[in-house]
Amino acid sequence: RKPNYEFSVIAEWINKLALSYPNIRFSLSHNGRLIFQTSGKGNILEIIYQMYGKDVAAAAESFDEQTLDFHIHGYGIQPKINRSSKYFIFVSVNHRLVRSLPIQNAIIETYHEFMPPNRYPIFLIDIEVDPQLVDVNVHPNKLEIRMTKQNELIDLIKEMIRKLFEEKLRTVEVDLKRIQE
């Protein structure tokens, strides 16, 4: 493939790794120029700022929820900032970047209550769970997973997203009786 394409694939992986491991310092150079660098101080908001800019970082809402089986934490970007593709949803399990269509679909479905159709959120979630509840042998490259108690996790994610945005995005209610008086 062309060098620019190959570099874009590498840059995407460095960004994802930086989000998954904020305590590690990452540097990416291209043709002698520094393109991306993190401090390694564990500040995910700083990485979001470097990847997407000031507006996205300012719209980032942190979350941290826990049940007996799952601990989820990360950042949901307010729905007013959205994208045309679902490739800005980052899911990691025990700090390992994974693909899970059920989890991704739960995030998209819940966000769609707050954003226009055919638009997708920027969302970063790390799920801490007992490794025995995760099956990574779904696909040869170990990116796709299956999880025991997945429905419980999906319910937790949906509830957390609603809680994160319902209060902040509540619209003004109009009392028609008072207007008519």
Instruction: Taking residues 100-108, report their average pLDDT.
Output: 93
89: exposed, middle or buried (Cβ count in 10 Å: 0-12, 13-18, 19+):
buried
DSSP for 42-67, please give it: S-HHHHHHHHH-HHHHHTEEEEEEE-
pLDDT for residue 81 is more than 70? yes
Contact 60, 93 (CB under 8 A): no
Quick one: pLDDT at residue 11?
92
Lowest mean pLDDT among 58-67, 76-85, 142-151: 142-151
Q: pLDDT band for 172, please (50, 70, 90 cuts).
A: very low
Average pLDDT over residues 136-150: 72
